[in-house]
Structure 1
Amino acid sequence: MKVLSTQNSNYSNDGKTEVRQRLVQATRHLLSIEGRDGASSRAICALAGVGAPTIYHYFGDLDGLHRAAIDETYEQVAEAYLQGTRERGPQQGLRNGWGAFNQFARQEPLMCRLVIQHILAGDPPMAVAETLATVEADLSRLYNEGVLSCPAHEAVQLLWIGTLGTACFTASGSNREDQPNPDFQEKMVSLVLDALFIQKG
């Protein structure tokens, strides 16, 4: 009986996780293509295949669900930095992370604007502070090694300003023809990184 009870509990927890994730994915989709107005409780529940009370059970209210979707969206940008750093060090991580943010701005401008709105309002996605702290720690080591041209905390601020600036510029286009050429952002990334990092040899 104890084994059966544990299996049922695991199944129940898995089911709850699956329902929660369906809600988050449905919300991300609707926020991305229609913005906040299109991501209503009714539309989200219809897409996720659940009843309206489910939102309040898992997230407290619609704003809480919107926030969870925005948080998860930014986590993908943060992962691009971590992956690049694992493969080829912080400089590659910065290039990957910045590139991921710009790609996100091109592909999902409405969602990108929501992320930026939260950042500007002083309520950034949860992963932002953690990512910036990780970047600063990585850059501190490079500064101590004589690879970075300015203290890590200054470099992080410059990089963050540049990342947000190019993302805002990219996400401001109203249609595909308005989107800046990706090469333009790549030049911006290269200029900033070349200025921050000292090339040895």
Structure 2
Amino acid sequence: MTERVGSDTRERLITAAADLIAASPGEDFSLRAVCDAVGVKMPTLYHFFGSKQGLIDAVIEHGFDLYLGEKASMENSGDPIQDIRAGWDAHVAFGLENPGFYTLMYGKVRPGYSPAAQSRPSEILRGLTAEAAKQGRLVVPSEQAAAHILAANIGVTLRQIILAQADQELSRAMREATIAAITGTGTSRGGPLAAAIEVAAANADVLGPSETQLLIEWLSRLNRSSSIS
């Protein structure tokens, strides 16, 4: 085998490993197979990654790059709860379309360890829950809301991957139950105004985006006023 080492060798090794993982989700892969696919020898791989785990970490980073690239193409609705709904659905869709990447990103658990790349989508989610809290839409702290959403979202995605079957009804039910829990919709903690706000947000196509946002703003003012009094 003639070794082909160039400036792009590291990226080609990551791509080769990612291709092997995508072809056989959940199964181990051979470093030798990765090297053969790229046309390099094992010392070259160790030079770039240090170990097999180093290569896996690089593949996880690559998976998050793909995931965030898809999220970046999503249009911001201007409503944080609606964007949480859209983000939930995008998360599930990515997991079902890329089970090999997803199980590395979220399914491989080491106590006390979280891949650094996981912080990037978590920051986006925390930004949305912080905005929802600012609007008076949450009945729990924004950090708790983000943790609640992420735990439920990962759980429902992994279940569908394990069963190798999409279950949109389950995902939708889990999504709405999670949103109800953090917004207080349908409970005494949230009250009727909070429920009305979330009904309006979930049906923005009825009034249109601008009218819906105006209604939410009015209802939020009334909700804040009633809670103060």
Counterpart CA distance in 2 for 1:39 and 1:29 is 10
1:76 pairs with 2:62: no
Opposite residue 180 of structure 1, the aligned amino acid is A
1:42 pairs with 2:28: no
More helix by share: 1
Show structure 1 runs of 5+ residues with no match: 1-14
Change in CA separation of 1:31 and 1:79 when aligned onto 2, cut-off 3 Å: same
Is the contact made by 1:78 and 1:128 (CA closer than 8 Å) also made in structure 2?
no
Counterpart CA distance in 1 for 2:136 and 2:40 is 56
Opposite residue 128 of structure 1, the aligned amino acid is Q
Let me know the Cα RMSD of the aligned residues: 2.7
By how many angstroms is 1:143 displaced? 0.8
1:155 is aligned, of 145, 152, 164, to 145
Is the contact made by 1:150 and 1:196 (CA closer than 8 Å) also made in structure 2?
yes
Counterpart CA distance in 2 for 1:161 and 1:47 is 36
Counterpart CA distance in 2 for 1:142 and 1:23 is 42
Between 111-120 and 55-64, the greater mean CA deviation after superposition: 111-120
- Answer with 1 or 2: which has the greater Rg: 2
By how many angstroms is 1:49 displaced? 3.0
Counterpart CA distance in 1 for 2:26 and 2:38 is 16
Question: TM-score, structure 2 length as denominator?
Answer: 0.66
Is the contact made by 1:102 and 1:167 (CA closer than 8 Å) also made in structure 2?
yes
By how many angstroms is 1:162 displaced? 0.6
Is the contact made by 1:118 and 1:124 (CA closer than 8 Å) also made in structure 2?
no
Question: TM-score, structure 1 length as denominator?
Answer: 0.74
1:67 pairs with 2:57: yes
1:87 pairs with 2:79: no
Is the contact made by 1:170 and 1:180 (CA closer than 8 Å) also made in structure 2?
yes
1:69-119 deviation digits (Å, cap 9, x = unpaired): 0222133334445554x6224334433332233223323334322323335
Identity %: 24
Counterpart CA distance in 2 for 1:98 and 1:188 is 10
Counterpart CA distance in 2 for 1:196 and 1:80 is 26
Change in CA separation of 1:96 and 1:44 when aligned onto 2, cut-off 3 Å: farther
Name the residue aligned to 1:127: 117
Name the residue aligned to 2:172: 186
- How many aligned positions are there? 181
1:155-190 deviation digits (Å, cap 9, x = unpaired): 0111011111112211212xxxx4132343133223
1:102 is aligned, of 75, 92, 98, to 92
Q: Give the secondary-structure state (helix, strand or coil) at the position aligned to 2:108.
A: helix
Is the contact made by 2:26 and 2:103 (CA closer than 8 Å) also made in structure 1?
no
